[in-house]
Amino acid sequence: MKIRTGDSVVIITGKDKGKTGKVLRVLESKNRVVVTDANMRTRHIKGGPNRPGEIVKYEASIALSNVMVIDPKTKKRSRVGYAKNAKGHKVRIAKVSGEEIKKGTVAAKKKGGEGTEGTDGTKVNTAKKKTSASSDSSKSSASSNQAPFWKKMGFGAEDMAGNAEVDVKNDDHSVPDQTSNTHRSSQRGA
C-alpha cells in the first residue's frame, strides 16, 4: 500500500470532498483508510445500571481510492511513486514534484470523558474505553499499595498499629443454650 499511517491526504470524492487530514489507520485487508475528522459517524450508546448513556462521534473508514497524498512541496494532491535515495534506500516520492514523502506522525487522541477536543479544535464526545496503557498504570499504582482492603477500610486497626497481641475477652466459645422456652413458639399462630 502506498498510503501509510500519518500521511497527510486529501479526500477527492464523496460527501467530504476537498477535506484534508492525517491517516489514523490503514485497513489493508479491506483497502480502506481512516482519516481525521472525515466521514464522521454518531453512535448512541444505551446506558446501563453502572454507567450513563452517551453519544459518541467517531471517524468511519473511507475507500483507499477516494484519497490522495498531499505533495509536501507544492501542497497539492499527488500520486505516490518509489525511487532510491542517495543512500540507496527505497523511498516514497510524490509524482508531482519528485519530493520524498516523509513518515508522518499521528497525534495520540486525548483520553477523557465528555467534551474532549478534536484535532481541529472542535469538541468531540469520545467513548470511555480503558486502554492497556491506562490499565497498566492503574495496576502499577495498585501494586504500590499492597495493603489488604480490610486494612484500608479500617478493620483490624489494632493490627495496623503494631499491636501483635490479640486480646481475648471471651474464652468461652461454646454454643449458647437454646433449649430454654422463652415466649416464642414454633407453632403457627401462637
The domain 8-107 is placed in CATH, from the list 1.10.10.10, 2.30.30.30, 1.10.3720.10, 3.40.30.10, at 2.30.30.30
How much is the pLDDT for 133?
A: 46
* Pairing label, strands 8-11, 20-27: antiparallel
Q: What is the pTM of this model?
A: 0.54
Query: Where along the chain do its domains lie?
Result: 8-107
How much is the pLDDT for 106?
A: 76
SS3 of 60-125: the string is CCEEHHHEEEECCCCCCEECEEEEECCCCCEEEEECCCCCECCCCCCCCCCCCCCCEECCCCCEEC
Q: What is the pLDDT of residues 31-47, one digit of tens each?
A: 999 999 999 999 999 99
Least confident of 100-104, 135-139, 159-163: 135-139
Q: What is the pLDDT of residues 122-160, one digit of tens each?
A: 444 544 444 444 444 445 445 555 666 666 666 555 555
Q: Which of 68, 97, 70, 93 is nearest to 81 (CA)?
A: 93
